Amino acid sequence: MTTSKTSESSAAAPLLDLQALVVAVRRRRRLWYAMALLGLLVGAAVAVLLPPPPTAVTKILVVHREDQPNDTGTLIRTDVELLGTTRIAAEALRSLKSPENPEDFMRDYRGTGLTNNLLQITVTGDSDTDAVARAKALADAFVADHVRRMQDAAKAEAKALLDQRDRMRDELAQVNEAIGDRSPESDPKASASIESLFARRAELNSRIADFDQRAAEARTGTPKVVAGTLIVDAPRAVRHSLPKAAGTNAAIGLVLGLFLGLALAAVGTVVADRPVLRRDIAANLGASVVTELRRASLRSGRLWRRRRTRAARERLTTTLARIVRGSAEPVSLLELGCARSTSVIALDLGRTLAAEQPVVIIDGLPGPQLVTSRRRPGDPDVVSGDRAAAVPHQGLRLGVGSVAPGTAWTDLQYLGTRTVLVVRAGHGSAAWLHTVARQLADQHIPVIGVVLIDPDPRDRTDGTLWDGLHTALRGRSERLPRHNGTERPSWAVRVPDNDQEAR
């Protein structure tokens, strides 16, 4: 039955619990707060320590012979690519009388097509004056190169048209020579061939006139290109505002740092697989959450929180005292990730129980914080774990230990044969919580309940295991009744008699 229930719950469980992921990421807000702050500081530091070099910009109006209203920007993109050639760079350096390599100079400027006919050039230099001079030389070189290319193209087109016109004229001369003084009326027998020659002469005259017109149009278009291509925005230095740059970089760094922090928190949460919700912790430990306490409540905190802190600790102490009084066997508090909190809870619980009968607290924590803690008049006695065997059995015994990695599991039964786990949310992995539940079950130490330390304040899940009797109290039926502190732990195995076996 247990195996089938486990397999069914495993099959129904989602691969990624978004609620648990959001809660775990929110609990790691210190990480992404720190990453966001680091990004903000780095962005501001980059603006201060690495200021942009002196920069100048200029704008050029570029006119093309092939301009069309529906142009998608192909021509201006071609101009941008031509600007980034060694020919333009070398021409600009020649006008500046600079020995710099054109390939190196090309890294210091870039062109941007703002519209189909507007080109912006951005140039960096050693100073504002140098950047402006470079921008002017580069703009002049580009304009001169563009005009020269347009003129060369117009001349080549006009020459091709005139050459074609001259060939037509040569052919027209041959046709005129063939016609001579003849006419269709003078030679009726050859009237058909003469008429074809006249038609050919008319066609040649028309084509010659067309080529003349096209050549004239080609030559006429060049002055428009030359006059229209010019620098419309004179080179000027770009003024940089340090506060504005620092603010912009800081904002960018803040956003990037926050995003990186959230990503790291999410990835770390998925990889670590540390349960933070009540339902997940209860399911992994096989015991219900009986009460909880925020970690900040263990300190006095601010003035307006002291009353709420005191009330929360009193409720927790009352709940645990009721559990200890109602137990017929010694009870222990076993911590996982909250040794200091557990020691404070144990002292509060011991003081409450000491008002009714003698109480001895057995300190099995790895650190000396419980043994060396400040004592008040009437506080219970605290002995170390190695002296637990010498403690008299009269009165109540309250053991305090740890189930952190490295725990000596076989020694936990000397702290108490029943236990309350004090677990900090998000501290132990799911695998380790399973290990704790399995080891306690193997030692026949049932878990009465779980005290959850530092739960998520927005957690609305239920930490009660309604079907957890077979896991939380495994081994309970194998224990003989005894009174807390009246006798040492003794184990008894139930052996069914023959009549029960027969039945």
Pairing of strands 230-237, 55-61: antiparallel
- Position 2 confidence tier, pLDDT thresholds 50, 70, 90: very low
Distance CA 440, CA 33 (A): 38
- Give the 3-state DSSP-derived string for 126-142, with helices as H, strands as E and coil as C: CCHHHHHHHHHHHHHHH
DSSP states of 140-166 as a string?
HHHHHHHHHHHHHHHHHHHHHHHHHHH
pLDDT band at residue 499 using 50, 70 and 90 as cut-offs: very low
23 residue type, one letter: V
**Please, which pLDDT band fits residue 389 given cuts at 50, 70 and 90?**
low
Taking only the tens place, the pLDDT of each residue in 218-238 is 776 677 777 888 999 999 999
DSSP string, 409-446: GGGGGGT-SEEEEEEETTTS-HHHHHHHHHHHHHTT--
At 487 the pLDDT is 43
Q: Which residue has the higher pLDDT, 227 or 372?
A: 227
pLDDT, residue 472, reads 42
Residues sharing a CB contact under 8 Å with residue 386, sequence separation 6 or more, in sequence order: none
Q: How is domain 275-478 classified at the CATH fold level?
A: Rossmann fold (3.40.50)
- Of the candidates 197, 155, 162, 159, which has an alpha carbon nearest to the alpha carbon of residue 180? 197
Most confident of 377-381, 412-416, 481-485: 412-416
What amino acid is encoded at 151 in this protein? Q
What would the pLDDT profile of 245-299 be if each residue is shown by its tens digit? 899 999 999 999 999 999 988 888 788 788 888 888 988 898 888 888 876 444 5
Identify the band that residue 393 occupies on the pLDDT scale cut at 50, 70 and 90.
low
Domain positions in the chain are 12-51+243-270, 55-239, 275-478
Helix (H, G, I), strand (E, B) or coil at 271: helix
Q: Which tens digit of pLDDT belongs to each residue from 148-184?
A: 888 888 888 888 888 888 888 888 888 777 776 666 6
In this prediction, residue 171 carries a pLDDT of: 81
Q: Work out the mean pLDDT of the chain and round it to a whole number.
A: 80
pLDDT, residue 439, reads 92
Mean pLDDT of the region 416-439: 90
- Across the range 336-341, mean pLDDT stands at 87
Mind listing the pLDDT tens digit for each residue in 118-152?
Answer: 999 999 999 999 999 999 999 999 999 998 888 88
Provide the pLDDT confidence category of residue 187 given band limits of 50, 70 and 90. low
pLDDT at 491: 35
Q: How far apart are CA 459 and CA 31, in angstroms?
A: 20
List the end-to-end C-alpha distance of the chain, in Å, as a whole number: 22
Bridge partners (DSSP) listed for residue 230 = 61
Model confidence pLDDT, tens digit, residues 296-309: 444 544 544 567 77
Amino acid at 24: A
Separation CA 8–CA 6 (nearest Å): 5
Q: What is the pLDDT of residue 11?
A: 41
What confidence tens digit (pLDDT) does each residue in 468-480 have?
544 443 344 344 4
pLDDT at 15 over 90: no
In this prediction, residue 256 carries a pLDDT of: 94
What average pLDDT does range 368-395 have in this prediction?
68
Please name the residue that has the structure tokens 């278009």.
Answer: 221
- Which pLDDT belongs to residue 204? 81
Q: Is residue 455 within 8 Å of residue 425, measured between CB atoms?
A: yes
CB distance 334 to 421 below 8 Å: yes
Please give the pLDDT value at position 358. Answer: 82
pLDDT for position 473? 39
- CA nearest neighbour of 440 among 410, 482, 401, 405: 410
Exposure string for 20-47, b = 16+ CB within 10 A, e = fewer: beebbbebbeebbeebbebbbebbbebb
pLDDT for 185 equals 61
pTM of the model as a whole: 0.59
Residue 358: burial class (beta carbons within 10 Å; 0-12, 13-18, 19+): middle
Distance of CA 273 to the CA centre of its chain: 19
